[in-house]
Amino acid sequence: MNSIGFKNFRRFRDFVPIEYNSITFLVGRNNSGKSTLVKALLLIIDYVKSNDTSTFSFNQKNLEEANISTYGRAKSKHAVDDYITFHFSQGSFEFKLTVSGDNDNTTVGVNEFEIRDIKAGFCFNVRPREYSISISNNVDQQNLSIDEEDKLLSELADKEKELVLALKSIAQKTSQEYIQKNGDLKSLKKRISTIKAAKKKEQSQGNFQLQTHYKGSEIQEILEEAIQDFSAEYDVQYREIQRGKKAKATFEGFKAFKDNKFKVERSVDDFLQFRKEVQNIYLGASLNKQSALFSIRDKSNPLSQSIHEFKQLGVDKNPSSSAYQFILKWMSEEYFAIGESFDVVMHAGEAYELIIREGDLTIHLADKGMGSIQIMLLLIRLSTIIFKQQIDKHLYTVIIEEPELNLHPAFQSKLSFLFYDVSKNHGINFIIETHSEYMIRKTQVIVNENEFTDIDSRNPFSVLYFDMDSTQWKMNYRADGKFIEEFGSGFFDETRKLVKKIL
Q: What is the 3-state secondary structure (H, E, C) of 29-73?
A: CCCCCHHHHHHHHHHHHHHHCCCCCCEEECCCHHHHHHCCCCHHH
253, 197, 121, 238 alpha-carbon torsion, rounded to 10°: 20
Query: Is the model's pLDDT at 300 over the cut of 80?
Result: no
- Global model pTM greater than 0.85: no
Crossing angle for the helix pair 370-392 and 322-331, to the nearest 10 degrees: 160
**pLDDT tens, residue by residue, 415-441:** 999 999 999 999 999 999 999 999 999
**pLDDT tens, residue by residue, 440-449:** 999 999 999 9
Q: Round to whole Å and give the CA distance between 354 and 340.
A: 13
Q: Among the listed ranges 39-48, 130-139, 439-448, which one has the minimum average pLDDT value?
A: 130-139
Mean pLDDT of 78-86: 93
SS (HEC) of 185-201: HHHHHHHHHHHHHHHHH
Cβ count within 10 A of residue 137: 22
The separation between the first and the last C-alpha atoms of the chain, rounded to the nearest angstrom, is 44
% residues pLDDT > 90 (the chain): 57
Question: Mean pLDDT across the chain, nearest whole number?
Answer: 88
Altogether, the residues listed in the chain come to a count of: 503
Beta strand 461-466 with 132-137 is unpaired
Helix (H, G, I), strand (E, B) or coil at 471: coil
Query: Is the model's pLDDT at 140 over the cut of 70?
Result: no
Q: Round to whole Å and give the CA distance between 301 and 331.
A: 21
Band of residue 218 on the pLDDT scale cut at 50, 70, 90:
very high
Helix (H, G, I), strand (E, B) or coil at 283: strand
Mean pLDDT of 292-306: 81
Band of residue 257 on the pLDDT scale cut at 50, 70, 90:
very high
Query: Is the model's pLDDT at 316 over the cut of 50?
Result: yes
